[in-house]
Structure 1
Amino acid sequence: MENGWRPARQHDRVPPRPLPHPDTEVTRPIGRVDGRRHRWNQPVSGTIRRHPEPRSTRGSAPPRRATARRGRGGFRRAAKIVTALAATTVLATTGFAWATLRDLQRGLLTSNALGDAAAAPGAPMNILLIGLDSRRDQQGRPLPREVLDQLHAGTSDNGGYNTNTLILIHVPAGGGKARAFSITRDSYVDVPGEGKRKIKEAYGLAKFRTEQRLMAQGVEDQATVEREGREAGRKATLTVVRNLTGVPINHFAEVNLAGFYQLATALGGVEVCLNNPVHDSFSGANFPAGKQTLGGAQALAFVRQRHGLTNGDIDRTHRQQAFLASVAHKLRDQGAFTNPATLQRLLDVAKQYVVIDRGWDLLSFARQAQNLSGGNMFFETLPIEGFAKINGQDVNLVNPDKTRKIVREAFGEKVGDKAAPTQGPGAAPALQPGTGAPGGNTTGVVEPNAAVAGPTTSDSEGEVVKVDGIPCVD
């Protein structure tokens, strides 16, 4: 497939044209650390390490497959930016004045993408956090050059509207422990109207098609084209996640690259912990081992880094989860909300960069979810069954039946029939014919020389990150 694809921008005033190929991106398989597999979905007991000694990486087994690098396109994978939504979420969960919440509610950008899916007051709710890698603001304008420079993010023409981060959170009725599942961005799933695709592509494909249709109809207002395109992208993403997990989505929040940077900066820095020192020129990550406080640009580098990590995208997902835990720790235990200046900065940034569904009543949510920042949330990563190269792209193979069973059980939903068995080692993934897929290729093709990794169990991605203090990660 061709490189360099991106969905149409609002300034691309051209007649309808065939949909281009999506950009080719490659992921790294789950590797081994210190000769042992991570166990990610098994709850942990005891206290999270807060002051680890740096450990040597000598003797670690190498990853099973090297990560390909295609120019600076890796910046498209920078959008682990939804971690910034921790600031917005915890604003509603720390018991501060309702007047502040009302002010936030009135000022946030809202979307109709969910329709009438909001949960009844006090009922359990599922919230999808969406992180975009877009280098453009909500009106489709390029982000300032000085911001992009600080973020090591290239130009506004790099990246697109991929949802490189998706986190589904379940908040039980009446409080209690919340569960959150990260969905890897290269999960190979059914995308309605597109056949099998990486889940991250659903947003951009729907946005592109909607923009082309509007322009063909003669719509020239740029704001309208951008707004309707984004709404279509949100609807497509919500649909794909619902289909994959088998649970309803009651609310969602979305943030982009600049939103993450601004929210992390407004906090005055966030403390993180690394087991080993890292240096990565692609993301700008250059940190020693141990605990340290990161500013906005450094925080983005922390959650973007992929190169040089044993487990690639999986390790980056773990960093995102740990960063969320650290943000919650700072908001709860370090007095961020007792500082009026810090609080006002957070509110101002959230109003500019965060989008929520129109039916989300933050006052009701705050009453229901006050314990979320008190160590009562667990982050996990949905299982990957293996890896394959399809149509020139490395993808993560997932088992939808198993995924639905895991999520429904965790969220307290009724589980139906037993999940279908996973594919055996070396089996080609089931592929669905595409419907109008770019390039006219309507079926996915597993390249003959591309090995398909054997299945991994649902607890192979490592330990649960518990939102309590400063977790240490690789």
Structure 2
Amino acid sequence: MPERTGHRPRPSASGRWLPLLRAATWAVSAALLLGCGTTWYAYRSLTHGLTTSDALDAVRAKAPRHLDNSVDLLLVGLDSRKDMNGDDLPRQFVQTELHAGSSDIGYYNTNTLILMHIPADGGKVQAFSIPRDDYVRTLNGDGSVQGHFKIKEAYANAYTTAHDRYARQGVEGADLEARSREAGREATLATVQQFTGVPIDHFAEVNLLGFYDIAKVLQPITVCLRKPVRDRYSGADFPAGVQRLNARQALAFVRQRHGLDAGDLDRTRRQQAFISTVTHQLKSEGVWGSPAKLRGLLDVVKKDVVLDDSWNVLDFAQEAPDLTGGNVVFHTLPIEGFGIRNREDVNLVDPDKIRSIVSQAFGTAAAPSPTPSGSATATVDIVNGNGGRGLASAALSSLTALGFTAGTTGNTAPQPTTTVRYGPGAQQAAQRVAGLLHADTTTAGPAVPAGHVAVTLGGDYTHPGGTTPTPSPSSSSTTSADSGPAVKAGGVPCVD
């Protein structure tokens, strides 16, 4: 037998390190579990309770295609004086703090639409404000045509139709409000996608109360005005120069349009300047890097803001600082002039021109104008009913360049408005013609041949591309179709 000794065999090198490796493995595993748990808890605490929408699901199938991994965001400002459940905000609060009249004003119009393009390579972000009174063909979420209205009315039109339908089915209360608003969001997304020719990947919606609450968290907010303003409608009363505003004043700053040289177009630049200032302030105050400060901001977002359900807000918060270093340029989409449609002052626009501008700025291929089935083969007949000679021929030339078949031209007795009638099989073609010629509505014409669209140019006719714009009372005395200078982010830009 081998001799026993009082010494244990000396372990090998691998044997000596094995317990340490196990301990290290357990430590790393524990750290990972703890880290994952902490991250999960932080994510849950920051994102739990967000109001989300799946409205994008309804419009993705018909959206233009991306050519790369860029992201297009739509910011929607709702002019509603109601809460998320559809209940009126307190009257005194609406009048004194929001300075927004009564809860009956505004309805569900989208008074702010800003489309932002974040390039795949992290380059300069381009953003376009869409003037709320642009007269366009509006759609429902399923792609069906509402008619021709101000772009801000797409939401309200769909909301009203859905609200009436669901109410007849017995839907009530908060559920009725939620379903109706979803229809409004789908319509807005579908209309903006068609109008601009680019897909929308994410969107955020906020109403007047949400704007006020966000401004209250961030106040005081620094703005700069080139000249003093005073407006009893919005409550704006500010001297020229740099100044710091509370939430009530900030809302008045972005809502003012009366007394501004370019009316609503100047208001869009106020909104752009506000966003630039706020993002600059968020970065300079370290909000994006502070979970505590970010939590305070997200608490307001949970209460007042609606986000699409595919938007990871924490990922966006990490990327957001890249958008605050002067790397964003805000533009306003141009108009061709002013007119009166549906007895309202509107902005006349050229859809093809808009799509070209947006595609060029976003670095994407220009999406073709929507061409409903049958429109390329429809024959268009046009007569002058406004006393102008040669306008029918000019209008027909514009339409044939877009694929329509040239019919006849002529003259008839004067009439105040442009009308579009269609024969069997040409309804969709007539809708497109009406949009291109800025006509109010289309109607079936029993005497119009099959496959034909009959147009009578009225006294309100403006040739595509713009000729003699009519001043709009709501836009002060301006008659310029110029959308004004770009607003560059990264600080506190001065505006009118």
Whichever of the two has the greater Rg, that structure is 2
- Structure 2: distance between partners of 1:302 and 1:275: 13
Aligned counterparts of 1:151 and 1:417: Cα–Cα separation in 2: 42
Q: CA deviation at 1:432?
A: 5.9
Instruction: Give the alignment's Cα RMSD to 1 decimal.
Output: 3.5
CA separation of 1:418/1:128 partners in 2, compared to 1, >3 Å: closer, same or farther? closer
Write the distance in 2 (CA, Å) between the matches of 1:295 and 1:445.
51
Paired residue secondary structure (1:115): helix
- Work out whether residues 288 and 321 of structure 2, in 8 Å CA contact, stay in contact via their aligned partners in 1: no
The answer to whether the 8 Å contact 1:325/1:468 transfers is yes
Q: How does 1:266-281 map to 2 (within 5 A)?
A: 266-281=217-232
Is the aligned partner of 1:397 residue 2:348?
yes
Amino acid at match of 1:125: V
SS in 1 for 2:204: strand
- Report the more deviating stretch, 129-138 or 361-370: 361-370
- For the 8 Å contact 2:337–2:470, the answer to whether it is kept is yes
Alignment of 1:212-361 (within 5 A): 212-219=164-171, 221-337=172-288, 342-361=293-312
Task: State the TM-score, normalized to the length of structure 1.
Answer: 0.70
Residue-pair matches, total: 367
1:433 matched to 2:441: yes
CA distance in 2, matches of 1:106, 1:444: 57
Gap regions ≥5 residues in structure 2: 1-38, 140-144, 371-393, 399-416, 419-436, 445-454, 472-477
What letter matches 1:223 in structure 2? Answer: A
Q: Specify the alignment match of 1:209 in structure 2.
A: 161
* Amino acid in the other structure paired with 2:52: T
| TM-aligned CA deviation for residue 104 of structure 1 | 3.5
SS at match of 1:356: strand
Asked if the contact 1:390–1:444 (Cα under 8 Å) also holds between the matched residues in 2, the reply is: no
- The reply to whether residue 462 of structure 1 matches residue 484 of structure 2 is yes
Counterpart Cα distance in 2 of 1:213 and 1:375: 47
Q: CA–CA distance in 2 between the matches of 1:472 and 1:433? A: 41
How far apart are residue 147 of structure 1 and its match? 2.5
Asked whether the equivalents of residues 215 and 250 of structure 2 are also in contact (C-alpha less than 8 Å), the reply is yes
Contact 1:135 1:143 in 2 (8 A): yes
Deviation at 1:328, TM superposition (A): 1.0
Mapped partners of 2:157, 2:368: distance in 1: 33
Alpha-carbon distance, 1:156 to partner: 1.6
Q: Is the 8 A contact 1:385 1:457 kept in 2?
A: no
Equivalent residue number for residue 166 of structure 1: 113
The one of 448, 457, 469 aligned to 1:453: 469
SS in 2 for 1:281: coil
Q: Which residue, 61, 72, 89 being the options, matches 1:126?
A: 72
For structure 1, which segment, 290-299 or 456-465, has the greater mean C-alpha deviation from structure 2 after superposition? 456-465
What runs of 5+ residues in structure 1 fail to find an aligned partner? 1-96, 437-442
CA-CA distance at 1:190 after TM superposition: 0.3
Q: Does residue 113 of structure 1 match 2:65?
A: no
Contact 2:130 2:332 (8 Å CA) reproduced: yes
Higher strand share: 2
Note the C-alpha offset of 1:459. Answer: 8.9
Letter in 2 for 1:137: D
CA 1:338 to 1:351, structure 2 compared with 1: closer, same or farther past 3 Å?
same
Q: Is the contact made by 1:175 and 1:370 (CA closer than 8 Å) also made in structure 2?
A: no
Q: In the aligned structure 2, how far is the partner of 1:332 from the partner of 1:100? A: 21
Q: Tell me which amino acid in the other structure corresponds to 1:262.
A: D
Question: What is residue 16 of structure 2 aligned with on the other side?
Answer: none
1:377 to 322, 325, 328: 328
- Give the deviation of 1:333 after TM superposition: 1.6
After TM superposition, give the deviation of residue 373 of structure 1 in Å.
1.1
Cα distance 1:371–1:341, how it changes in 2: closer, same or farther (>3 A)? closer
CA 312–245 in structure 1, closer or farther in 2 if over 3 Å, else same: same
How many Å apart are 1:416 and its aligned residue? 6.2
Q: Is the 8 A contact 1:178 1:372 kept in 2?
A: yes
Q: Secondary structure at the match of 2:331?
A: strand
C-alpha spacing 1:367/1:416, structure 2 compared with 1 (3 Å): same
